[in-house]
Amino acid sequence: MLVDIDKHIDEIKSKNAQHKKLRSNFLDLQTQKKQNLRELKELKVELTKEKEDYERIKKFGLEKVFYTIIGQQESKLEKEKQEFIVATMKFDTKKNEIKFINEELIKIRQKIGLLGDIKKEYESFMFVKEYVIKQQKIVESENLNEFTKRENLINNRIRELNEAKDVGEQITTQLNQALSALESAADWGVCDIFGGGFIATSGKYARIDKARNFVAKTQVLMNRYKKELADADIKIEKLINIGELSTFADYLIDGFVFDLFAQYKINKSIKRVQEILDKITKAQNFVEQQLDEEEMKLEHLRVKKNTLIEKVL
């Protein structure tokens, strides 16, 4: 049975080699197409200019009279005509070249489609072979079980990191919206100071209210972010001051309630939100770095595991 499975795996490898070659050709053609489109744009400008020059000489006007008087009207017209024809030929040739590239891209895309989902097919046969190896109690099955355990551990951490990253992105969105609302409130505040009246005051309050809502949502998310990072075995204290994060939302909300008219309070709040944004960005960068490392570990582990499975006959 293992011999038959290995035969299928070899066929899949052959298909994968075809896929890589087709993919390489596809990318090369796409690069050519981009270059040709740029050239076509330039040729279009040239063609338009040559057409205008030709039409101008054909029409009755001062330029035509001038060339007629000096006896060069026919030669000038012929020259412009030839230049117009050449420009037209260049433009049409480039259009046809792009058309051919598009046709080739369609053909390659169809060929790639006929190969099917090679990765999924490969993983399916590797799964079957792994199962057979374990069922037959081959010596390598013990090693495979160890690989599986390590895979599960890495997958669990990747899941936890992705969950933390998702919450961090939500926090970033809320903080950016709060920052935007506060900056708008500051603008309305300046207008209010210089006698903007009821409209300016209303505009300022409306933006402050929006900021309060965004900050309130952020406060809820922040507690969840702390938990998700802990689940991913990341000590957040090294990245962010937890005490500051847990109280900054209350500071902003209370500040608006008790000191709505103070322009400096709005500006100070803007600064605080920006500081928190910078720290969240720092934390998110660290999470993404950890994700990259874990995914690289997983990839290396799977390569070793598949190499072991392939060697079993």
- The answer on pLDDT for 25 being more than 90 is no
Query: CA torsion, points 140, 143, 147, 148, in degrees to nearest 10?
Result: 70
Q: Which residue has the higher pLDDT, 24 or 255?
A: 24
Percentage above 70 pLDDT, the chain: 77
Cβ(168)–Cβ(224) below 8 Å: no
pLDDT in tens, 263-300: 777 888 888 889 889 989 988 999 999 999 999 999 89
Dist. CA 74–CA 82, nearest whole Å:
12
pLDDT in tens, 168-208: 998 899 899 989 988 888 887 777 777 767 777 777 778 87
Q: What is the mean pLDDT of residues 149-153?
A: 80
- Of 112, 270, 107, 102, nearest to 178 by C-alpha is 270
Report how far apart the first and last C-alpha atoms of the chain are (Å, whole number). 9
CA 186 to chain CA centroid, nearest Å: 33
- Residue 79 makes CB contacts below 8 A (sequence gap 6+) with none
What pLDDT does 136 receive?
A: 67
pLDDT in tens, 105-129: 898 899 888 888 888 887 887 787 7
- The answer on pLDDT for 144 being more than 90 is no
- The answer on pLDDT for 215 being more than 60 is yes
- The answer on pLDDT for 244 being more than 80 is no
> How is residue 241 annotated by DSSP?
-
Query: CA torsion, points 222, 228, 234, 237, in degrees to nearest 10?
Result: 20
CATH architecture of 141-311: Up-down Bundle (1.20)
Dist. CA 291–CA 106, nearest whole Å:
36
- Of 101, 122, 124, 105, nearest to 113 by C-alpha is 105
pTM score, whole prediction:
0.52
Q: What is the mean pLDDT of residues 50-71?
A: 60
What pLDDT does 242 receive?
A: 47
What pLDDT does 258 receive?
A: 39
CA distances from 140 to 6, 92, 124, 133 (A): 16, 64, 19, 7
Dist. CA 87–CA 51, nearest whole Å:
9
What pLDDT does 172 receive?
A: 93
pLDDT in tens, 246-263: 455 544 544 444 344 557
- The answer on pLDDT for 145 being more than 70 is no
What pLDDT does 3 receive?
A: 52
Dist. CA 165–CA 283, nearest whole Å:
9
What pLDDT does 92 receive?
A: 84
Q: Supply the DSSP string of 190-226, one letter for each residue.
A: HHHHTT-HHHHHHHHHHHHHHHHHHHHHHHHHHHHHH
Q: What is the mean pLDDT of the chain?
A: 77
- The answer on pLDDT for 231 being more than 80 is no
